[in-house]
Structure 1
Amino acid sequence: MHKRTQRKAAQQILLARAEKERNLWSTISTLTPEAALDLLDSSKSGLSEFLVEASSDYYGPNVITQVKRESPLKRFALSFVSPFTGILFLLALVSFITDYSMMPHGQRDLSTVLIILVMILLSGLMTFIQEFRGDQAAQKLSELVENTIAVTRKDAPQTEIPMDEVVVGDIVHLAAGDMVPADLRILEANDLFINQSAMTGESEPVEKSAAPVAPGEHTAQMDIPNLAFMGTNVQSGSALGIVYSTGDETVLGQMAGHLSQVKPEPSAFDKGLASVSRILIRFMLVMVPLVFLLNVITKRDGLSAFLFSISIAVGLTPQMLPMIVSTVLARGAVAMSRKDTIIKNVNAIQNMGAMDILCTDKTGTLTQDRVVLEYHLDIEGEEDPYVLRYAFLNSYYQTGLNSLMDESIILRTHEESEQDESLRGLTDTYTKVDEIPFDFERRRLSVMVKDDKEEHLLVTKGAVEEMLSICDSVRSQGQTVPMDDTHRQQILRLVDELNDDGMRVIGVALRDDPPGVGQLSKADEVGMVFIGILAFLDPPKESTQAALEALREHGVETKILTGDNERVTASVCKQVGLKVENILMGADVDGMDDQTLSDAAERTQVFAKLSPLQKARVVTLLRARGHVVGYMGDGINDAAAMRASDVGVSVDNAVDIAKESAQVILLKKDLMVLERGLIEGRKVYANLIKYIKITASSNFGNMLSVLVASALLPFLPMAAIHLLLLNLVYDITCLTLPFDNVDRDYLLKPRRWQAHTITSFMLRIGPVSSIFDILTYALMFFLIAPQVVGGQWNQLTAASDKALFIALFQAGWFVLSMWTQTLVVHMIRTEKIPFVQSRAALPVWVVGLLGCLVMTLIPYIPLGAKIGLAPLPFVYFLYLAGILLLYMLFVTGAKWLYIKRHGELL
Structure 2
Amino acid sequence: MANWHALPPEEALKLLNSGSDGLSEDEAASRLERFGPNDLARISGPGPVRILLRQFENYMVLVLLAAAVISWLSGEKSNAIVVLGILLFIAILGFVQEYRAERAMEALRKMVAPEARVFRGGRLVTLPAGNLVPGDVIYVEAGDIVPADARILDASALEAVESSLTGESNPVRKSPDPVREDAPLADRSSMLFMGTMVTYGNGRAVVTSTGSDTELGRISGMIQETPAEPPLKIRLQQLSKSLAVMVFIAAILVFSIQVYRGNPVLDTLLIAAALAVAGIPEALPFVVTLALAYGTQSMARRNAIVRRLPAVETLGSTTVICTDKTGTLTRGEMTVREIWCGRRVEVTGSGYVPEGVFKVDGSEIDPGAFDALRETIITGALCNNSEVVFEDGWQIVGDPTEGALIVLAKKAGLDLRERCREVTEYPFASDTRRMTTVHQCGNDLRVSMKGAVEVVVERCSYVMDHSGLRPLSDADRKRILEIADVMAGRALRVLAAAFKQIESGDLSRDFLERDMIFTGLFGMMDPPREEVCGAIDVCKRAGIRPVMITGDHKRTAEAIAGELRMLNGGVLDGSELDSMSDQELSDRIESISVFSRATAEHKMRIIKALKEHGHVVAMTGDGVNDAPALRSADIGIAMGRTGTDVSKEASDMVLADDNFATIVAAVEEGRRIYENIRKASAYMLAVTFAEVAVILMAVLVGLPAPLLALQILWINVVAEDFPAIGLAVEPARPGLMNERPRNPKEPILSRDVLVYTIGTSAAMLIGTLGLFLLNLDDGLGYARTVAFASLGICAIYNAYSSRSFHHSVLQMNPTGNVKLLAGIVASLASVVMVIYIPVFQRAFETLPLTLDSWLQVWLVSTIVIVVAEVLKRSMKTNSQGSVGSPGE
Q: Which residue of 1 aligns with 2:808?
A: 833
Classify 1:623/1:67 alpha carbon distance in 2 versus 1 (closer, same or farther; 3 Å).
closer
Match of 1:743 among 725, 733, 748: 733
1:338 equivalent to 2:327? Answer: no
Distance 1:70 1:325 in 2: 24
Give the TM-score normalised by the residue count of structure 1. 0.62
Note the C-alpha offset of 1:626.
Answer: 5.9
1:429 and 2:419 matched: no
Q: 1:246 to 1:173 in 2, by over 3 A?
A: same
Alpha carbons 1:701, 1:766 under 8 Å: kept: no
| 1:648 and 1:664 in contact (8 A); partners too | yes
Q: 825-834 or 625-634: which moved more?
A: 625-634
- Contact 2:623–2:647 (Cα < 8 Å) also in 1: yes
| Deviation by residue 1:511-553 (Cα, 9 ceiling, x = unmatched) | xxxxxxxxxxxxxxxxxx9996313488876656665565566
- 1:688 aligns to what? 677
User: CA offset at residue 717 of structure 1?
Assistant: 2.4
In structure 2, C-alpha distance between the alignment counterparts of 1:355 and 1:818, rounded to whole Å: 37
Q: Distance in 1 between matches of 2:52 and 2:573?
A: 62
**Residues of 1 paired with 2:688 and 2:333: CA distance?**
56
TM-score, normalised via structure 2 length: 0.63
**Quick one: which amino acid aligns to residue 409 of structure 1?**
L
Deviation of 1:740 (Å): 2.9
Query: How big is the shift at 1:887?
Result: 0.9
Post-superposition Cα deviations, 1:851-904, rounded to whole Å, max 9, x if no partner, equal 332123313333223433233332222222222211122123334434357875
Q: Is the 8 A contact 2:782 2:847 kept in 1?
A: yes
- Residue 386 of structure 1 and its aligned partner are, at CA, apart by 7.8
Identity %: 18
1:854 aligns with 2:849: no
Give 3-state SS (helix, strand or coil) of 1:429's partner: strand
* 1:842 matches 2:814: no
- For the residue of structure 2 that corresponds to 1:665, the secondary structure is strand
| Corresponding position: 1:807 with 2:781 | yes
Distance (Å, rounded) in 2 between the aligned partners of 1:358 and 1:326: 25
Residue 67 (str. 1) matches residue 46 (str. 2): yes
- Equivalent position of 2:33 in the other structure: none
Of 379-388 and 756-765, more deviation after overlay is shown by 379-388
Q: SS at the partner of 2:749? A: helix
Deviations 1:325-384 (A, max 9, x none): 444334423331221012345444334213455566777767777755466667898448
Question: Does the CA contact (< 8 Å) of 2:300 and 2:306 recur in 1?
Answer: yes
User: Match of 2:749?
Assistant: 758
Task: Return the alpha-carbon distance in structure 1 between the equivalents of residues 69 and 660 of structure 2.
Answer: 53
The code of the aligned residue for 1:333 comes to T
8 A contact 1:499–1:571 mirrored in 2: no
Equivalents in 1 of 2:633, 2:51: separation in Å?
38
The Cα offsets for residues 636-684 of structure 1, whole Å up to 9 and x where unpaired, read as 8988987897655442233537657754432223344333222222222
1:303 matched residue in structure 2? 266
Kindly provide the amino acid, as one letter, of the partner of residue 782 in structure 2: L
SS at match of 2:305: strand
Query: Paired residue for 1:883?
Result: 860
- Report whether the alignment pairs 1:477 with 2:457: no
Aligned-pair CA distance for 1:293: 1.6
Question: Which residue number in structure 1 is paired with residue 404 of structure 2?
Answer: 408
Residues 357 and 175 from structure 1, CA distance in 2 versus in 1: closer, same or farther, beyond 3 angstroms? farther
Structure 1 match to 2:523? 535
- What is the CA-CA distance between 1:843 and the residue it aligns to? 3.1
Q: State whether residues 41 and 211 of structure 2, in contact with CA within 8 Å, keep that contact through their aligned partners in structure 1.
A: yes
In structure 2, C-alpha distance between the alignment counterparts of 1:325 and 1:582, rounded to whole Å: 37
Return closer, same or farther for 1:179/1:829 CA change in 2, 3 Å cut-off.
farther
Q: How far, CA to CA, are the matches of 2:74 and 2:606 in structure 1? A: 65
The residue correspondences of 1:457-536 to structure 2 (distance < 5 A) are 473=458, 475=460, 477=462, 487-493=477-483, 496=486, 504-508=492-496, 533-536=521-524
**Partner residue of 1:158?**
none
The answer (yes or no) to whether the contact 1:780–1:808 under 8 Å persists in 2 is no
Please say which of residues 585-594 and 745-754 is displaced more in the overlay: 585-594
- Partners of 2:532 and 2:164 in 1: CA distance: 37
Map residues 144-155 of structure 1 onto 2, 5 A cutoff: 149=111
- AA of the residue aligned to 1:272: R
Residues 134 and 327, structure 1, Cα contact 8 Å, conserved in 2? no
Alignment of 1:265-280 (within 5 A): 265-280=228-243
Give yes or no for the alignment of 1:352 onto 2:315. Answer: yes
How many Å separate the matches in 2 of 1:312 and 1:338?
Answer: 43
Farther-moved stretch of structure 1 (588-597 vs 370-379): 588-597
1:783 to 753, 774, 790: 774
Residue pair 1:434, 1:449 contacting (<8 A) in 2 also: no
Equivalent residue runs for 1:134-213 within 5 Å: 149=111
Residues 622 and 601 of structure 1, relative CA distance in 2, 3 Å threshold: farther
CA contact (8 A) 2:336 2:525 kept: yes
Q: What amino acid maps onto 1:755 in structure 2?
A: E
Letter in 1 for 2:482: L
Check 1:588–1:91 CA distance in 2 against 1; reply closer, same or farther (3 A cut): closer
Q: 2:672 and 2:331 mapped to 1: Cα distance? A: 29
Partner of 2:642: 654
Q: Could you say what secondary structure the match of 1:506 adopts? A: strand
Structure 1 residues 572-611: aligned runs within 5 Å: 601=592, 610-611=596-597
Q: 2:240 is aligned with what amino acid?
A: S
Corresponding letter in the other structure for 1:492: E
Cα gap change, 1:808/1:558 in structure 2, threshold over 3 Å: closer, same or farther? same
- Residues 391 and 613 of structure 1: is their aligned pair in 2 closer, same or farther, counting only changes over 3 Å? farther
The Cα RMSD (Å) is 6.8
Aligned partners of 2:67 and 2:276 also within 8 Å = no
CA distance in 1 between counterparts of 2:612 and 2:90 reads 40
Q: Partner letter of residue 739 of structure 1?
A: V
The alpha-carbon distance between structure 1 residues 626 and 298, as it changes in their structure 2 partners (threshold 3 A), is: same
CA distance in 1, matches of 2:141, 2:232: 38
- The alpha-carbon distance between structure 1 residues 303 and 36, as it changes in their structure 2 partners (threshold 3 A), is farther
More helix by percentage: 1
Could you tell me whether the CA contact under 8 Å between 2:64 and 2:280 is conserved in 1?
A: no
Aligned twin of 2:706: 717
**Contact 2:718–2:827, Cα closer than 8 Å, also in 1:** yes
Quote the Cα distance in structure 1 between the aligned partners of 2:47 and 2:625.
36
Amino acid at match of 1:825: A
Shift of 1:306: 0.9
> Does the Cα contact within 8 Å between 1:684 and 1:738 map onto a contact in 2?
yes
| SS of residue in 1 equivalent to 2:876 | helix
- Between the aligned partners of 2:749 and 2:412, the Cα distance in structure 1 is 68
> How far is the alpha carbon of 1:709 from its aligned partner?
1.7
Structure 2 unaligned regions, length at least 5 = 1-15, 29-38, 117-127, 133-137, 167-173, 177-189, 345-371, 388-395, 440-448, 465-470, 499-516, 884-888
Question: 1: CA distance between counterparts of 2:784 and 2:296?
Answer: 42
Q: By how many angstroms is 1:290 displaced?
A: 0.3
Return 5+ residue gaps in structure 1 as ranges: 1-28, 42-59, 96-111, 155-165, 199-207, 211-224, 437-444, 453-458, 511-528, 789-804
Q: In structure 1, how many angstroms separate the alpha carbons of the residues matched to 2:56 and 2:22?
A: 54
Q: 1:530/1:820 Cα in 2 relative to 1: closer, same or farther (>3 Å)?
A: farther
Contact kept? 2:141, 2:200, Cα under 8 Å: no
Q: Shift of the alpha carbon at 1:754?
A: 3.6
Residues 306 and 391 (structure 1), Cα distance of their counterparts in 2 relative to 1, 3 Å cut:
same
Is the partner of 1:744 in helix, strand or coil? Answer: coil
Looking at structure 2, the residues matched to 310 and 904 of structure 1 have their Cα atoms a distance apart, in angstroms, of 39
Question: Structure 1 CA distance, aligned partners of 2:307 and 2:204?
Answer: 30
Q: Determine if contact 2:790/2:858 at 8 Å carries over to the other structure.
A: no
Q: Once the 2 structures are TM-superposed, how far is the Cα of residue 135 of structure 1 from its aligned partner? A: 7.3
The 1:760–1:542 alpha-carbon spacing in structure 2 relative to 1, beyond 3 Å, is closer
Name the CA distance, whole Å, in 2 between partners of 1:149 and 1:357.
Answer: 30
